[in-house]
């Protein structure tokens, strides 16, 4: 049985006991801490002990290692991650006992209703970076926000923060329509492209999901006016647009060649001047989105300027890892053709002799559905290494392989294992090169092994 999000409201109350299955996960750990701060009695379970579970235990939350039916004893309701399926013994025990089971996204949706400002950052690409930029601004403005990011932010030394202010900031994902459980007071849409095609039938289905998300916002929608798909998605809606093209309400002007320095005008008046520490046009548009939120919230320009000047990237977003044989080594989370394009564009502005690109495709369905687009982008680096496809949640029912991509591209190296990727990088690296390990799976391990 699927419970309505609003039904969870009566369980997120002081004195109620909520049990989190998969509590050590990247967005479950902060969920447990936020619920505890609201007076809820929190318990949880996870398959493995970790730094996350240790932190929760240190905060007085009971955490059981391993999933067993008895773990849910005394719980008023259950909250689970998407990775916890119906055959989990704790889910089975809850349903047998009539204890309601809710999804993680539903819990975040209810939590944000307790905040005056609930800022939800969405988009096919750029969510983590933009949310991280906003975290810098909100912290600089001393708003003491609660933050949930789908990656690591050095400023927070984590991917989350539990604050005492009246603002909550969430990275908001469209996969499985998760963000439709949210109650934003301000919704941001960075871009709309065909992705997660194991869930969405096509681009039109993705657009419908984003439009439904925009319609949830009680305090307005901030959208990328330079992105045609976003504008088509929101056609007929009252939105505030940001971008570098004329006609945007939040407009980037006087842009430097490397897109790191520019002025921002809001409704025709100069609001701030940005000097970014990150490269690329994609980061410039992400910064404009963050500025749009700050302006809408009435945050002083100095907090925006100082906050963004100190932002040097989120974990696995063009993250500098070190040097090997005179070559700089970076890691990036890009896993969609559109993301590969902006990553390659950005690194081309950095003046390296050669771009060595070690890419691990993520999921069979994405690789098959966007095959031709991947081929176009993967022809662009000077040297290409392809690791085998990272399965994630999927089984390979089509027989597709990275070899198929390489055959179509016509040049490059196929590496069946990550150690093979590392060895080939050792052989190729020369002074003046840039090496990128790219993908949403575990390709970063190949770069880390190179630097050991």
The string over 409-418, giving b where at least 16 C-beta atoms fall within 10 Å of a residue's C-beta and e elsewhere, is: beebbbbeeb
Does 127 qualify as catalytic in the annotation?
yes
Strands (E), 173-314: 186-189, 221-224, 240-243, 250-253, 261-266, 269-275
Q: Where are the beta strands (DSSP E) in 210-342?
A: 221-224, 240-243, 250-253, 261-266, 269-275, 319-324, 327-332
**Distance set, CA 238 to CA 176, 208, 215, 223, 235 (Å):** 26, 16, 10, 10, 9
How far is Cα 412 from Cα 4, in angstroms, rounded to an integer?
50
Which of 128, 130, 241, 422 does the annotation list as catalytic? Answer: 128
Instruction: Single out the catalytic residue among 90, 127, 130, 167.
Output: 127
Map tokens 């798909």 to a residue.
229
Beta carbons within 8 Å of 227's beta carbon, 6+ residues apart? 190, 191, 192, 243
Closest to 223 measured CA to CA, from 126, 148, 338, 146: 126
Nearest to residue 291, comparing CAs of 349, 248, 335?
Answer: 248
Residue in 90, 103, 171, 319 annotated catalytic: 171
Return the biggest CA–CA distance within the chain.
Answer: 64
DSSP helix/strand/coil, 222 = strand
Catalytically annotated residues: 127-128, 171
């Amino acid at each position: 049985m699927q419970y309505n999000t609003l039904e969870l409201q009566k369980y997120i109350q002081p004195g109620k006991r909520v049990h989190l299955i998969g509590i050590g996960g990247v967005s479950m750990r902060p969920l447990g801490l936020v619920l505890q701060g609201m007076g809820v009695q929190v318990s949880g379970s996870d398959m493995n002990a970790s730094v996350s579970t240790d932190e929760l235990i240190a905060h007085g939350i009971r955490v059981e290692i391993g999933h067993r039916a008895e773990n849910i004893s005394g719980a008023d309701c259950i909250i689970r991650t998407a990775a916890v399926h119906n055959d989990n013994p704790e889910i089975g025990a809850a349903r047998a006992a009539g204890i309601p089971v809710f999804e993680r996204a539903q819990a975040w949706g209810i939590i944000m209703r307790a905040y005056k400002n609930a800022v939800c950052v969405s988009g096919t690409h750029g969510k983590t970076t933009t949310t991280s930029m906003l975290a810098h601004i909100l912290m600089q403005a001393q708003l003491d926000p609660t933050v949930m990011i789908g990656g690591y932010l050095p400023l927070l030394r984590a991917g989350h923060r539990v604050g005492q202010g009246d603002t909550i900031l969430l990275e908001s994902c469209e996969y499985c329509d998760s963000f439709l459980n949210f109650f934003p007071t301000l919704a941001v849409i960075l871009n709309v492209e065909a992705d997660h095609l194991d869930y969405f039938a096509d681009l039109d289905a993705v657009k419908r999901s984003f439009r439904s998300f925009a319609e949830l916002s009680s305090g307005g929608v901030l959208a990328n006016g330079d992105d045609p798909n976003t504008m088509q998605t929101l056609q007929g809606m009252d939105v505030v647009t940001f971008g570098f093209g004329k006609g945007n309400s939040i407009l980037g002007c006087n842009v430097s060649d490397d897109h790191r320095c520019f002025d921002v005008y809001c409704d025709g008046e100069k609001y701030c001047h940005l000097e970014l520490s990150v490269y690329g046009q994609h980061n410039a548009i992400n910064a404009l989105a963050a500025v749009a939120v700050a302006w809408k919230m009435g945050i002083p320009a100095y907090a925006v300027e100082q906050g963004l000047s100190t932002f040097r990237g989120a974990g696995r977003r063009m993250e500098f890892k070190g040097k090997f044989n005179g070559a700089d080594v970076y890691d990036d989370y890009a896993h969609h053709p559109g993301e590969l394009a902006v990553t390659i564009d950005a690194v081309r502005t950095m003046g390296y002799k050669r771009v060595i690109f070690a890419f691990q495709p993520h999921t069979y369905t994405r690789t098959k559905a966007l095959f031709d687009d991947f081929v176009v982008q993967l022809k662009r680096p000077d040297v290409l290494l392809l690791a085998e496809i990272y399965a994630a949640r999927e089984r390979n029912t089509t027989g597709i392989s990275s070899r198929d991509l390489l055959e179509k591209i016509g040049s490059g190296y196929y590496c069946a294992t990550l150690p093979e990727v590392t060895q080939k990088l050792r052989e190729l690296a020369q002074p003046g090169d840039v090496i990128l390990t790219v993908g949403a799976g575990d390709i970063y391990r190949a770069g880390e092994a190179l630097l050991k």
